[in-house]
Amino acid sequence: MKIVIAPDSYKESLSAQEVATQIEAGFRGVFPDASYVKLPVAASGLERVPSAQRNPLLTTSYGTGELIRSALDYGVKHCIIGIGGSATNDGGAGMAQALGAKLLDAQGESIGFGGGALDTLKRVDVSELDQRIKSCRFEVACDVTNPLTGKLGASAVFGPQKGATPAMIVQLDNALKQYAEVIRHSLDIDVDQVPGSGAAGGMGAALLAFCGAELRQGIEIVTEALGLDELVRDASLVITGEGRIDSQTVHGKVPIGVARVAKRYNKPVVGIAGSLTADVGVVHEHGLDAVFSVLYNICSLEEALDNAAANVRMTARNVAATIKLAQTLQ
């Protein structure tokens, strides 16, 4: 029996690797002799910032730019950048600044960091942008289609989970509109309504504008890079999951991407999630045969996060036990 475990992270509680480890532990209690292949599938960001410190007016993507610059220092010619689950809402401006772009106000001075500073932006100067970017191919793994601004934009949809209040959402959205307009005027690139430009607080927009990146369904890039197709070809079962499985999961998120690959070979797919919603049934039409929540009693969010590892392990064990029971009834 070969079991492929390919989950996303449970935001704010468990990394994708930790989720995969707990699922394997639960299954091993029932199927100790099975062969297990763990293939965690994720991006990073939000869970690294404590809730009390989240402020998208201030958080910056500068560190991502530093990582890209470091990759270029090593001679990398192909960057795959996963965007999503970020703690920032600065449109990727910090990343651009780290790579040498100058974001200037009306007086020609560099603006500050964070989404809140973008409302003072008047001009973008890329004369000192790292020239090595031109010789590097940038593929962006993006699992959402949200534009940069508007009702479905970065601020309105993802701002609240990053600590944005309703008033801050309005401020951030207006700042990103200013940002998009300046990019259009300075670089002759319109990024505002491009699907995926609003991912990771607008990082998609910056990668398009400053790196000439190609935005693709994140799960497609990641599963190709990880060789998921080959791994599930001879699998008995595929297990995936994310923090919450709901109707939005079908829009290119990890569980559906994994399920689509598995269904090429008619493999059964189980989803294990932190929670489910009432509209979750739609995922059954997209390859997830069964889905389970790890929550088994009424609890606070803090309790759910603290007990996530044990709950995932217990749920996985129960799923495994149900499968074994079904085998005995055949």
Q: Please check whether residue 94 lies inside any domain of the structure.
A: yes
Give domain status of residue 298, yes or no. yes
Are 174 and 242 in a shared domain? no
pTM, whole model, 2 decimals?
0.73
Residue 17 maps to a domain: yes
Q: Could you say which of 187, 218, 249 is where a domain stops?
A: 218
Q: In CATH, what number is assigned to the domain containing residue 208? A: 3.90.1510.10
Count of CB atoms within 10 A of residue 48's CB?
11
Residue 129 lies in a domain: yes
> Considering its fold, how many domains does the chain have in total?
2
Q: What is the pLDDT of residues 1-36, one digit of tens each?
A: 999 999 998 877 898 999 999 999 999 999 999 999
Same structural domain, 173 and 263: no
User: Tens digit of pLDDT per residue, the chain (330 long)?
Assistant: 999 999 998 877 898 999 999 999 999 999 999 999 998 876 756 767 777 888 999 999 999 999 999 999 999 999 999 887 789 999 999 999 999 999 999 999 999 999 999 999 999 999 999 999 999 999 998 878 899 999 999 999 999 989 999 999 999 999 999 999 999 999 999 999 999 999 999 999 999 999 999 888 777 787 888 889 999 999 999 999 999 999 888 877 889 989 999 999 999 999 999 999 999 999 999 999 999 999 988 888 889 888 999 999 999 999 999 999 999 887
Structure tokens at 122: 């008047």
**102 inside domain:** yes
Say yes or no: 141 and 278 in one domain.
no
Amino acid letter for position 285 = E
Domain span holding position 324: 2-34+236-329
Domain boundary among 218, 249, 281: 218
77 and 15 in a single domain? The answer is no
Residues 7 and 112 in one domain: no
Asked whether 161 and 209 are in contact (CB, 8 A), the reply is no
Domain boundary among 161, 183, 218: 218
